[in-house]
Homo-oligomer: A and B are copies of this chain.
Amino acid sequence: MKIATLVFENVTALDMVGPLEVFGNIPNSEFVYVSPSGSVSAERTGLGITATAAFNEVESADILLIPGGQGTRPLLTDEPTLEWIRAIDKTTSWTTSVCTGALLLAAAGLLEGRPATTHWLSYDLLEKLGAKPTPERVVFSDKYVTGAGVSAGIDMALRLVQEMHGDEFAQAIQLGIEYDPQPPFDSGSPEKADPAIVNLVRVVQTAQDKLTPS
């Protein structure tokens, strides 16, 4: 089971590490971290992540994982990245994304007309890129599995492992990573959060987007 993760400068680390922590329990799995630009730094925390391969070194995968982050924006028009995504997708059993990673799948043409999810602030852009934004935590559309913002990658991966290996295996992983979430507030989605908080996050994120080259 070969699991290829795209890594890029200003990736959101939790987008990739959430699912990877789940996938890491799949027997005989092999992980490859593929980058357009060598090793990278995650956004906000500067966490350095090692790339283990360049595009021309990875020609297939069983699972393709595309995380999100501000670093997706310059890649939305980067042909080598989009070409690699399309080429790997031809070989996968599952093509997955978390957060704004869905924008890259859509920019590569893989979500045309398909229901898909992304970070709640990026529904409009996902729609412009041809997908049908669907405000759910995890969306399956044939082999395309998209997760909502950042932390949703854990749920996405558990749902996928359930699909691949059944309920008991997914439950064992959930217990192994002690995923018994107890957030201090019920403010994790724009429908549930206080409107003032939603507005605050929207303003801050829009400002960050404007500062990012695309």
Contact = CB atoms under 8 A, between A and B. Distances in A.
Q: Which of A137, A158, A201 lies at the interface centre, i.e. has the most chain B CB atoms within 10 A of its CB?
A: A201
A187 to B, nearest CB: 4
A92 B168 CA distance: 42
Contacts of A152: 178, 180
Contacts of A167: 185
A188 B178 contact: yes
A82 to B, nearest CB: 24
Given A45-B23, A49-B47, A179 B183 contact: yes
B50 A48 contact: yes
Contact of A151 (B20, B47, B177, B192): B177
Copies of this chain per assembly: 2
A137 B183 CA distance: 10
Interface in A122-156: 137-138, 148-152, 154-155
* Range of interface residues on A (Cβ < 8 Å): 35 or more
A169 to B, nearest CB: 9
Interface stretch (A10-18, A55-63, A72-80): A10-18
B47 A48 contact: no
Interface string A98-135: 01000000000000000000011000000000000000
Contacts of A149: 176-178
A212 interface: no
Contacts of A49: 47-50
A189 B180 contact: yes
The 5 closest A-B pairs by CB, nearest first: A48-B50, A149-B178, A180-B188, A24-B44, A181-B181
Given A151-B154, A172-B204, 19 more contacts: A14-B17, A17-B47, A20-B47, A25-B44, A33-B47, A33-B48, A46-B52, A47-B50, A50-B50, A149-B176, A151-B178, A171-B194, A174-B187, A175-B187, A175-B190, A176-B204, A178-B189, A179-B181, A179-B188
